[in-house]
Structure 1
């Protein structure tokens, strides 16, 4: 089994560009209603425009913050490169980079343009570096 989270956004193309620039993902579908974002050829995130098609369980775009209680968590072998990419992209940093001694890795907490919390985490044992 593999998770393939889907988030609802107001502008699929702008969100896709943000995730591509900030996380280094690639477009696997493209379009203004739906997008699949890939890493090494595997889909890791889906974007769906709030008002495209009728999906009663997607949520309510009038209620903020989006994803309250859920975080988009990405693990990476190249934490330093991920931090550099997020910084170069001008991503909004909520916290970090920091060491999480409980999880034994480093983390960078971001907010995407739609308001979702995105966490970049280094591999286990990636502390004190």
Structure 2
């Protein structure tokens, strides 16, 4: 069996778990892996855990802080990989999402990407890798 390195699954503190879950499901096509008003596990098309959502009342997680105490995601930008950035961008626009920029080529990352805010104000970038080196 091949050894694997550590994985990373972000957990976001949100005001409304069900609403945030529905937003991410609509935008990325994730599936609910838990559901409920306090906690959600969002699964990718391969069934892997992509994102967790937790209601802001989070006594069980002492390392988390209330986003009302500051700007959500301050100092953090979440990157979501996709195979079709245009389709996700079109869904985001249709959803009326808070788009921070337009779909564009980032030559440094060699990716087609755009950035938006989720319902709680977290900044997220959607990125599709390209083979271009220019």
Q: Same fold (TM over 0.5)?
A: yes
Structure with more contact order per residue of length (Cα contacts < 8 Å, sep ≥ 6): 1
| Number of residue equivalences | 128
> Contact 1:105–1:127 (CA<8 Å) still a contact in 2?
no
In 2: Cα distance, 1:12 partner to 1:60 partner? 14
The reply to whether residue 109 of structure 1 matches residue 115 of structure 2 is: yes
Structure 1 residue 126: Cα displacement? 6.1
* TM-score where L is the length of structure 1: 0.90
Structure 1 residue 10: Cα displacement? 1.1
Runs of 4 or more off by more than 6 Å in structure 1?
none
Coordinate RMSD, CA, aligned: 1.8
**Can you give the 5+ residue segments of structure 2 that lack an aligned partner in the other structure?**
1-5
Q: Secondary structure at the match of 1:17?
A: helix
Equivalent of 1:47 in 49, 53, 56: 53
Higher strand proportion: 1
Which residue of 1 is the match for residue 25 of structure 2?
20
* TM-score where L is the length of structure 2: 0.87
Structure 1 residue 127: Cα displacement? 8.6
Q: Secondary structure at the match of 2:8?
A: coil
> Contact 2:86–2:103 (CA<8 Å) still a contact in 1?
no
